[in-house]
Amino acid sequence: MLKNIILLFSCLALAAAQSQVTISLSASELLDYDAISGCDTVITIFCSSTSSPSTQCGQTEEISDDAYPIFPERFTFPYAIGSGQQWRFELVDKDLQFDDHIGTVVISVDDFMQTINTGDTMTRKINLNRPGNLHVKRET
């Protein structure tokens, strides 16, 4: 009986420690990388934690000719407090022949969850020697 009670409390604690987070993405001040058109941005999301290697866990559709794209997709991920989860966002300007790497942003999911309330947005500079920002909004 005591074993069952302990097991029940362990399951409840685990369920309480795990939740989900939904985000949406936008960007601003992206440079045009080619003379023919504006920035044709796609964002690929990679997820990792201390117990799992980085794997692709999401990708936006391409938004063409826009230095301020607002992506319509919503991404929902599991979240476990203190698990060392990270999101890596790779921003690319899609082209017919060769894609141009715009930049990379890495965000700790723990930091995001502790500092960003539902409906608020975290803004990070894109990690290149060019201007640009990634905006990650915590959805309901």
pLDDT of residue 5: 45
Mean pLDDT of 23-48: 91
pLDDT of residue 90: 97
Residues of the chain with pLDDT > 90, as a percent, come to 73
More confident of the two residues 122 and 4? 122
pLDDT of residue 101: 92
Residue 9 vs residues 14, 80, 93: alpha-carbon distances, Å: 9, 17, 49
* pLDDT exceeds cutoff 50 at 46: yes
**Mean pLDDT score of the chain:** 88
Distance CA 43, CA 25 (A): 9
Domain ranges of the chain: 19-138
Question: Structure pTM?
Answer: 0.85
19-138 belongs to which homologous superfamily? C2 domain (2.60.40.150)
pLDDT of residue 38: 86
Mean pLDDT of 4-19: 51
